[in-house]
């Protein structure tokens, strides 16, 4: 904190604010871009897939060999959720359908019209008539992993996305940087109606700047936190 105040005294709060803000926003964009790429990419059994595009509710991914994976639902919605009647995934010679039945809260998964398994929609693992060892086997099936990974990637792009990550982060970074560079300004803003001619204490300045650093840290960590979405 002493180093920051030294630079503020030497160069002025505005110059320190602008330099810090530019540097932190640049760092934030880099972190958000890396996070965005990771969220749009997934690996199944050693095969890497990455997001390609979306068109008319159909999501396109490509594997490392350039083979296209298509994902969509039968009601034309952009999102792939359990509220869609049927989720369809087309990859190579396979057509995978997850039929969601909200009345019984079950999902049946078919591969080329043959039933692969049935599970409860809101359960983490497959339940019902399957013993634990069988549930684990089903969770490791290629088709199960593909459905899970594609839905996670689409959820991220539909609900979060790189633009929202950067906007949320930049707002917090702006707020935190202003607290670090202008702690006295915050004091006057808070008490200008009740105090005349006063000055903030060293403790107030320290706590304001410390809070600002914590806010900046949260802003920079938002893209990382999004990986747990």
Residues 50 and 152 grouped into a single domain: yes
Q: For residue range 158-210, what is the model confidence (pLDDT) as tens digits?
A: 877 788 888 999 999 999 999 999 999 888 888 877 777 778 889 999 999 99
Read off the pLDDT band of 138 (50, 70, 90): low
Residues 22 and 61 grouped into a single domain: no
User: What integer pLDDT is reported at residue 82 of this predicted model?
Assistant: 65
Q: Is 40 part of any domain?
A: no
Last residue of a domain, one of 158, 193, 208: 158
Read off the pLDDT band of 229 (50, 70, 90): low
Structural domains counted in the chain: 2
Residues 173 and 207 grouped into a single domain: yes
Residues 65 and 148 grouped into a single domain: yes
Among candidate residues 125, 73, 76, the one with its CA nearest the CA of residue 96: 73
Last residue of a domain, one of 124, 139, 158: 158
Asked whether the whole model's pTM tops 0.85, one would answer no
* Structure tokens, 160: 């979060």
Q: For residue range 43-85, what is the model confidence (pLDDT) as tens digits?
A: 999 999 999 999 988 999 999 999 999 999 887 677 787 666 7
Residues 54 and 145 grouped into a single domain: yes
* 101 vs 97: CA distance, rounded Å: 13
Last residue of a domain, one of 158, 179, 204: 158
Phi, psi of 55 (to 5 degrees): -150, 120
Range of the domain at 211: 2-34+162-228
Residues 154 and 53 grouped into a single domain: yes
* Structure tokens, 156: 């991220």
């Amino acid at each position: 904190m002493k180093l920051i105040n030294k630079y503020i005294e030497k160069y002025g709060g505005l110059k320190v604010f602008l330099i810090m803000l530019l540097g932190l926003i640049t760092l934030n964009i880099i972190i958000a871009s890396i996070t965005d790429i990771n969220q749009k990419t997934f690996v199944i059994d050693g095969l890497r897939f990455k997001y390609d595009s979306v068109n008319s509710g159909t999501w396109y991914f490509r594997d490392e060999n350039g083979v296209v994976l298509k994902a969509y639902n039968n009601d034309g919605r952009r999102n792939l959720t359990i509220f869609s009647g049927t989720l369809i995934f087309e990859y190579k010679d396979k057509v995978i359908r997850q039929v969601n039945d909200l009345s019984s809260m079950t999902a049946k998964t078919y591969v080329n019209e043959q039933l692969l398994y049935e599970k409860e929609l809101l359960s983490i693992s497959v339940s019902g008539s399957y013993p634990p060892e069988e549930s684990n086997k089903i969770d490791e099936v290629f088709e199960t992993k593909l459905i899970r990974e594609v839905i996670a990637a689409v959820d991220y792009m539909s609900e979060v996305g790189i633009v929202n990550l950067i906007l949320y982060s930049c707002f917090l970074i702006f707020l935190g940087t202003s607290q670090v560079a202008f702690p006295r300004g915050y004091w006057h803003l808070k008490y200008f109606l009740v105090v005349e001619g006063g000055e903030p204490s060293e403790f107030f300045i320290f706590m304001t700047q410390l809070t600002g650093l914590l806010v900046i840290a949260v802003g920079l960590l938002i893209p990382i936190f999004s990986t747990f979405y």
